[in-house]
A and B are shown apart, each in its own frame.
Chain A
Amino acid sequence: MDPWVVLLGWALAIPVIALAIFRLDRRVDERTVPFMAILAAGIFVAQMLNFPVGGGTTGHLIGATLAVVLLGLNGAIVVMTAILVIQCLVFGDGGLTALGLNLLNMAVIAPLVAYGVLRALKGHEGAAVPVASWASVFLASLACGLMLSASYVISDGAFGIIGSVAIPAMAGWHAVIAIGEAVITSGVVLFLKRVAPEMLEINGPEEAGA
């Protein structure tokens, strides 16, 4: 990645995450702390499990939509940030410089898209979660494709991938991977609705107040 694109990633991601942390502070209560921590840990292990999508490529869950459904937007941003930082620092998944862009895509863009779709489709129970999951992955991958293309242009081809290749390739693979995200997220949400409906209500006040 081009250094300028890296800097831009950090510059965009940090204020949003800081705002989410600030706003979360006013919402979180003693009761939800262990639940948030378990969910974060669960999403961490879920991200390790790749599933094949054909053509010798695999995909794995991002989990942003699941986090938004269960914790609201601010909670999801904070949880996704924690997961990505640990993946980067402890497991070397994604370099330190790329962390800003990864945060922007998976801890900011993906939860924002999921939140937007969930709100827009409020009342359409069956469609909201799968559509939000699919869109969050697809748009985050599109953003990643744009970053790769921007790197290519700014660095005169030294970094990144030319846009005419990067954007369709990222979008193409992730349109399929996003179906996996939609199926898994919907499955988990339906399951929780059945066995532990109170979990889906934790973010109620935040949604109403947001």
Chain B
Amino acid sequence: MSRRGCLKAAMVVLLLFAIGLVGYFALSAGSPDGLERVMEDNGVEEGDQLWSAPLDYGGDWGTAFVAGLIGFALTFGAVYLYLKVYLKGGSARRKA
């Protein structure tokens, strides 16, 4: 995929996400998802967390959009970097 194609795809995904968030806050925000619902119905509490995460998904359109942007960038960066490094190692191994 070309650089332009990637940029376009990223813009489309984020645009759809921005629109999708409106629907999310109109219809779903605050309701549990499937697993959370089953846990709630049965009174299962989550235990103490071993790890406390630095961020959350935000509570309104703006903060959730920022969380989505950060997650999008982090996921993109992590997979991209990982594969680049791996490819480098892979081609070095193949040459050796």
Minimum Cβ distance to chain B for residue A53 (Å): 8
Cα(A93)–Cα(B51), bound, Å: 11
Cβ contacts under 8 Å, A169 to chain B: 37-38, 41-42
Count A/B pairs, Cβ under 8 Å.
181
Size category, A interface: 35 or more
Contact with B75, one of A56, A86, A160 (Cβ below 8 angstroms)? A86
Residues of A within 8 A of B42 (CB): 161, 165-166, 169
CB atoms of A41 and B6 under 8 A apart: no
Does A125 reach chain B (CB closer than 8 Å)? no
Query: Are B28 and A50 within 8 A (Cβ)?
Result: yes
For residue A156, CB closer than 8 A to chain B, the reply is no
- Give A4-41 as 1s and 0s: 1 = Cβ < 8 Å from B's Cβ atoms: 00000000000000000100011011111111111011
Least CB distance from A56 to B in Å reads 5
- Please name the residue on chain A nearest to B68 by beta carbon: A45
When C-beta atoms are compared, the residue in chain B nearest to A169 turns out to be B38
User: How far, in whole Å, are A33 and B88 apart by their CA atoms in the complex?
Assistant: 12
A91 touching B27, Cβ below 8 Å: no
What is the chain B residue whose CB lies nearest that of A145? B38
A70 to B37, CA, bound (A): 31
A48 contacts B35, CB within 8 Å? no
Chain A residues with CB below 8 A from B71, complex form: 41, 44-45, 48, 86-87, 90-91
Number of residues on chain B facing chain A (CB within 8 A): 58
Interface string of B1-21 (1 = CB under 8 A from A): 101011001100110010011
Q: Which of B28, B47, B55 contacts A90 (CB 8 A)?
A: B55
Q: Which of A115-123, A128-136, A170-178 lies at the interface with chain B?
A: A170-178
CB-defined A-B contacts under 8 Å, sample of 17: A21-B86, A34-B6, A38-B10, A41-B76, A42-B9, A48-B68, A49-B21, A51-B27, A58-B33, A86-B71, A86-B75, A92-B51, A95-B46, A96-B49, A145-B38, A169-B42, A173-B34
| B interface list, Cβ under 8 A from A | 1, 3, 5-6, 9-10, 13-14, 17, 20-21, 23-24, 27-29, 31-35, 37-39, 41-42, 44, 46-47, 49-57, 64, 67-68, 70-80, 82-84, 86-87, 90
Q: Which residues does A use to contact B, with CB under 8 Å?
A: 21, 25-26, 28-38, 40-46, 48-53, 56-60, 78-79, 82-83, 86-93, 95-97, 141, 144-145, 148, 160-161, 165-166, 169-170, 173-174, 177, 196, 199
Known interface pairs A37-B79, A145-B38, A199-B1; 8 further A-B residue pairs with C-beta atoms within 8 A, sorted by A's residue number? A29-B87, A59-B34, A92-B53, A95-B50, A141-B35, A144-B35, A173-B37, A173-B38
User: When A and B form their complex, which 3 residue pairs have the shortest distance between CB atoms, in order from nearest?
Assistant: A92-B53, A37-B80, A41-B76
